[in-house]
Structure 1
Amino acid sequence: VARSLPSQWSKQYGPVMTVHLGPWCIVVLSGYKAVKEALVDQADEFTDRPPVPFFDRVQRGYGLAISNGERWRQLRRFTLSTLRDFGMGRKRMEQWTLEESRHLLESLRETKSTPFNPTFFLSHATANVICALVFGERFSYDDVNFLRLLQIMQAERRLESSPWGQLYNFFPKLMDHLPGPHHTVFNQLEELKAFITEKIHQHEETLNPDNPRDYIDCFLIRINQEKDLAESEFIYENMTATVLDLFMAGTDSTSSTIRYAFMLLIKHPDIQEHMQKEIESVLGQHRAPQMEDRKSLPYTDAVIHEVQRYMDFAPLSVPHYATKNISFRDYNIPKGTMIIPMLHSVLRDEDQWEDAWAFNPVNFLNQNGNFKKNPAFLPFSAGKRACVGESLARMELLLFLVSIVQHFHLSTPGGPSSLDIKPELSSFVKVPAQYQLVVTPR
C-alpha cells in the first residue's frame, strides 16, 4: 500500500469508505479510532470472515483461520487453552525457544562470515518452535524433507500476495481453468497436508490419553470424547486444517519479521550498535536472554516493536465480513459486505505516532529512555480475531533477535546502501526482498 493511498482516501472520504473491487463491495476502515471501534468496541458484530476463494481452495472451510460461527468459537477456545497448557507465552516455551536459539546460533556460526540468504535459517528456527507445540518435536537444519515443506510455505505466501493470487480471489472459476503458478502451489500444499496427516497417524498409534504430548494429542483425545456428538466440530478435517493454520502462521510471520529486522539494523548501523551496547551491558557476552530481561532492555524492546510497526506485515489485515446488517458510526453496512480494517493505516496513523513514516525506535521511548506503550500498536490485529499466537511471536522475536545481535555483527556485502527495504511483494502480507547476509562473530 503506497504511503499516500489510505491517508489521502481517509482525508477525502473519511475513515469509513466503500470500495468496489471486481465482484466485491468492500468497506474499508482507516485509522486507529475507526479500526479499534469496530474490532474491539463492536467486536461481536465484526468477528466473521468472508469466503475468500484462495483460502477456501486450500482449507475448504475447515480450520480456525477462516471459519465462522460455532466452528470458529469451539476451535479458537480449544486452541488457545491447549497452547497455553503446553507453555505458549510461559517458561516452558521460553526454554524451548532458547534451545532452538542455540541451534540457530550454531548454524549461523557455520557460515564463517561468508554471505548467505537467511530466509530458510530463520524459517527453520521459527517452524521448530511451533512444531514443539503442535507435533512435540523439532527437525534438524539438515533435514531436506523439512526444508521442502518450508519452501512450499514460502511459495504459498508469495502466491497469495502476488497478482496471480489476487486474480484467483476475483475469478476463481476462470483461474481454475487457466494455466499459471497457482496450480503448482495448490498441488504442493497437498504435500504439506499429507505431512500433517502422516504426523496425525503417528500420534494415533502412540497416543496415551492420560499423558498428551502436544496439540495433536489433545485434539485426538477431544475427537474421541465427542465422537457420538453429531454437532461436534472436533473432526479430522478441522484438526488437519487447524494444524496447517498454526504451522504456516507460526512459521512465516515471525521469520519474515526477523529477516526484515536484520535489513533495518544493517540499514541503520547506529541503531544496531546501540542495541549491542545495551544487550552487552545487561547480559554480557555469554548469558542467554530471558523474557524477564525485557524490562532491562528498553531500547532493544523499542527497536523490536518499531520493526513490527514499520514492516506492517499484514497491511490490510485478514478481511472481516458482515453476516448480518451492521450499524457503525451512523452508517449501515449491509449483510454480505467484506470489511477491511486497514492495519496499515493504524500503524501509520499520524495522530498516534510521533514519527509515523520513518523507522525510529523513539516511537516507543519516553523522554527518559524508558519503553512507552502505544495503543495503536496492532500488528497482530485486535479483538476476538486477534492472532492466537501473539504471545509466542513476541517471545520468539525478543529471544531470537537479542541472541543474534548479542553474538554477531550484521552486514551485507554491498553495504547498507545496497539494501532496498521495500517489500518484494505487498498484498495480503508483505514479503521482504531477498538479500545476502553476513554474520560476523563479535
Structure 2
Amino acid sequence: MLGIQAILITLLLGLLCVQFLKQFWSQNPYPPGPIRFPVFGSMWKIGLKLSKDTFIKLAKQYGNIYMLWMGPIKLVVLSGYDAVTEGLVNHSESFVDRPVTPFLKAIAKEQGIMWSNGHTWKQQRKFGLITMRKLGLGKKGVEHQIEEEAQQLVQAFTLTKGQPFDPAMPITISVSNVISAVACGYRFSPEDKEFLKLLEAIDYILKISTTIFHTMFIVFPWLMKHLPGPPRKALAYNDVIHSFARKEIEKHKEHQAVHEPQDFIDFYLHQMKKSKNDPQSTYNEENLSQCIYDLFIAGTETTSLTLRWALLLMANHPDIQEKVHQEIEDVLGSSRPFSYQDLKKLPYTNAVIHEIMRSQYILSSSIPRQCTKDVNMCGFLIPKEAIVIPDLRSVLLDPKQWEKPQEFNPNHFLDKDGSFVERKEFIPFGEGARICLGEQLARIEIFIFFTTLLRVFTFQLPEGVKELSTEPVVGLSLVPQPYKLCAVPRFSE
C-alpha cells in the first residue's frame, strides 16, 4: 500500500515539474503571471481569501497586465489608469461581454442586465436606460423619493438619542427602499420579514462570490451544486430573491390596467405586451425577474457601503466634517429644501464626496468582463473567452495619478482657489459600453443622504474610542468593520 502511495506521489510531483518547465520555457504571447498548476491553476498565489490590495500587489510583481488561471479559465487583470482605460475605452467592444462561469450561470442564467450578453443584454440595457429616464432619473421625481428615505434615516438616527449605535442596517434599509420605489413603486417597512430576508440573501450572495467556493464551483460544478455548504446556501438565497421578484410581478399584473406605468415593473410589463408578436423580443418574465434582482443587488450594496464609509470617515475627521456642515449652512441654510443641482454650489462638499468614493472604493476590483475575440494589447495576446478584470481600485489609488493616493484628502478634487475639479482618473462606475447603469441614481442618492445627515447631525466617536478602523472586511465588496458612532443632533428642535 505504501509503495503505491509513493508511486502516485512521485507521478504527481513529476507532472508538476513538467508543468513548471513547460511554462518556464514556453514563449507564449500571453501576459505574465504566477505559475499554473494542474486543476487549481494559479489561484494559489491569491490564497483562500482576497486582501484589499491583492491585485495591486500582483501588478507590482508581474506588471500592469497579468494573467491568472482559475482552474481551466484564463483570467487577465488590467491594473492602473493606462491599462484599464486602454482596455475599457479603446477595446470597449472586445471586452463588452460578461463571463459565464458555472456559478454565475446558476445564479443569473445569462438573463437580465448585469450578467447577460449579446442581443439579450443590448435589449435589456437599452430598456433599462430608457425606463430610468422615464422614471425621472436626475429629475425631481426620483429625488423626492430619495429625500423621503433620507428623512426616514434622520428619524431612525434621532431615536438613538446621541448614544453609540451601528448605522449599517438603517442605511441599508433606506437605500434599498429607494431601489424598491424605482422597481416596485413603493417602500417596505423596516420590519417587513420578506424585505429583511431579501437583504439577507443579497448580502450572502455578494459575500460568497469572491471566496474559494466560487473557484471550486468552476472546477467541480456538478459536485458543488449537490454538496451541502455555502454554494448550496447561495443557490437557496438566489431562489429567495427570485421568489420576491415574482411576487412583485404578480402584484403588478393584477393592477396593470388600473393606472399608467409608475415604476420599472409597470413599464416592463407594458413593453412585454407591445413586443409579444416580435420573434426577436427578449422581454419576458424571466428577464424581468432577473432585472429586478440586478437592480436590488447592484443598487443596495454599492450606495449603502459608500454611505457607511462616509460616516466612518466623518467621525474620524471632525475638522473635515465641520467644514462640510459649514459650507452647507452658508450656501443652503438650515431649513430650505435642496436638490442635486445644489451640488454645483458646494465645491468642498462635492470634493469630500468624491474623495470618499475614491479612497474607500467599495469593490475589491470591479465586475469582470469576457473577451469576445483575440485582442493584442500592449504587446500581449488576450485570448478569446478570457475573463478580464479591469481593476478600478488600482486606478483610484494609482500613484501616477493621485498626489497622496493612500490618504483621505479632499484636496485631490480642489484647485488652489478651492474650486471643484473633475478628474478623468475618477472612474468608480467604470468606463465603456458596460458603464454602470445606475451611476446617476447613485450620485443623487449619495449627495442627498450625505448632505441631509450632515446638516442635522454631528457624527462623533463613542467615548474612549480614538479612531474607527479603515481596514475593510474583504469580499467582492470592501465592507467597513462593524463600528458604532454617535449621531448628535445639531439643533434642539
Q: In structure 1, what is the equivalent of residue 276 of structure 2?
A: 227
Match of 2:82 among 14, 17, 33: 33
* Corresponding position of 1:433: 481
1:424 aligned onto 2:473: yes
Match of 2:363 in 1: 314
Q: Give the corresponding residue for 1:277.
A: 326
SS at match of 2:466: helix
Corresponding position: 1:136 with 2:185:
yes
Residue equivalent to 1:73: 122
- 1:389 corresponds to which residue? 438
For residues 244-283 of structure 1, the aligned pairs below 5 Å read 244-283=293-332
User: What is the distance in 2 between the residues matched to 1:5 and 1:95?
Assistant: 41
Q: How many equivalent pairs are there?
A: 441
Moved more, 233-242 or 190-199: 190-199
In 2 relative to 1, CA 21–354 (structure 1 residues): closer, same or farther, beyond 3 Å? same
State the shift of 1:3 in Å.
Answer: 7.3
Determine whether 1:178 maps to 2:224: no
Q: Secondary structure at the match of 2:365?
A: coil
Q: CA contact under 8 A between 2:373 and 2:383: conserved in structure 1?
A: yes
Equivalent position of 2:195 in the other structure: 146
C-alpha displacement at 1:98, in angstroms? 1.0
The match for 2:285 is 236
Within 2, Cα distance between the matches of 1:315 and 1:352? 19
Residue 166 to residue 380, structure 1, CA distance change in 2 (3 Å): farther
Gaps of 5+ in 1: none
Per the alignment, do residues 233 and 8 of structure 1 end up closer, same or farther by CA in structure 2, a change over 3 Å counting? same
Structure 2 CA distance for aligned equivalents of residues 3 and 162 of structure 1: 13
Cα distance in 1 between the residues matched to 2:113 and 2:186: 22
Q: CA deviation at 1:6?
A: 4.5
Cα offset, 1:178, TM superposition: 2.9
Select the structure with the greater relative contact order (CA < 8 A; seq sep ≥ 6): 1
Q: Does structure 2 retain, via aligned residues, the 8 Å contact 1:158–1:431?
A: no
Call closer, same or farther: CA 1:419–1:162 in 2, change over 3 Å.
farther
* 8 Å Cα contact 1:289/1:403 also seen in 2: no
Match runs of 1:189-228 below 5 Å? 189-208=238-257, 211-228=260-277
Contact 1:161 1:430 in 2 (8 A): no
Secondary structure of 1:43's aligned partner: coil
Q: Deviations over 1:209-256 (max 9, x none)?
A: 971111111111111222223331111111100111011111111001
CA contact (8 A) 1:288 1:403 kept: no
Corresponding residue number in structure 1 for 2:376: 327
Instruction: Please give the alpha-carbon distance, in whole angstroms, between the structure 2 residues aligned to 1:163 and 1:300.
Output: 40
1:20 aligns with 2:69: yes
Cα distance, 1:418 vs structure 2: 4.7
1:118 aligns with 2:167: yes
| Farther-moved stretch of structure 1 (226-235 vs 165-174) | 165-174
Aligned to 2:389: 340
Q: Deviations over 1:120-140 (max 9, x none)?
A: 211111111111111111122
Contact 2:52–2:474 (8 Å) recurs in 1:
no
1:292 aligns with one of 330, 335, 341? 341
TM-score, normalised relative to structure 2? 0.85
SS in 2 for 1:346: helix
Higher Rg = 2
User: Which one-letter code corresponds to 1:108 in the other structure?
Assistant: F
User: Retained in 2: the 8 A contact 1:410–1:437?
Assistant: yes
Name structure 2 gaps, 5 residues minimum. Answer: 1-49
Alpha-carbon deviation of 1:166? Answer: 4.7
Contact 2:429 2:435 (C-alpha < 8 Å) held by counterparts: yes
Q: Is the 8 A contact 2:366 2:392 kept in 1?
A: yes
Query: Which amino acid counterpart does residue 307 of structure 1 have in structure 2?
Result: I
Alpha-carbon deviation of 1:57? 1.7
**3-state SS of 2:243 partner:** helix
Q: Which amino acid aligns with 2:162?
A: S
CA-to-partner distance for each residue in 1:400-424, whole Å, 9 max, x for gaps?
Answer: 0010011111124255535221111
Preserved CA contact (<8 Å) 2:371 2:384 = yes
SS at match of 1:327: strand
Shift, 1:75, TM fit: 0.5
| Pair 1:43-2:98 in alignment | no
Whether the 8 Å CA contact 2:226–2:232 is kept in 1: the answer is no
Closer, same or farther in 2 for the Cα pair 1:34/1:209, shift >3 Å? Answer: farther
Q: What's the C-alpha RMSD, in Å, of the aligned pairs?
A: 2.0
Match of 1:60 in 2: 109
Distance across 1 between alignment mates of 2:382 and 2:293: 32
Counterpart CA distance in 2 for 1:148 and 1:238 is 22
Q: Is residue 94–residue 375 contact of structure 2 (8 Å, CA) maintained in 1?
A: yes
Aligned to 1:109: 158
CA distance in 2, matches of 1:147, 1:134: 17
Aligned match of 2:136:
87
The Cα of 1:263 is off from its aligned counterpart by 1.1
Mapped to 1, the partners of 2:442 and 2:79 lie a distance apart of 25
Shift of 1:181: 2.8
**Is 2:138–2:444's contact at 8 Å kept on the other side of the alignment?**
yes
Is the CA contact 2:364–2:474 (under 8 Å) kept in the aligned structure 1?
no
Counterpart-to-counterpart distance in 1, 2:341 and 2:480: 30
* Matched residue type, 2:318: P
Displacement, 1:298?
A: 1.1
Q: Note the C-alpha offset of 1:156.
A: 2.2
User: By how many angstroms is 1:148 displaced?
Assistant: 2.5
1:303 is matched by which residue type in structure 2? V
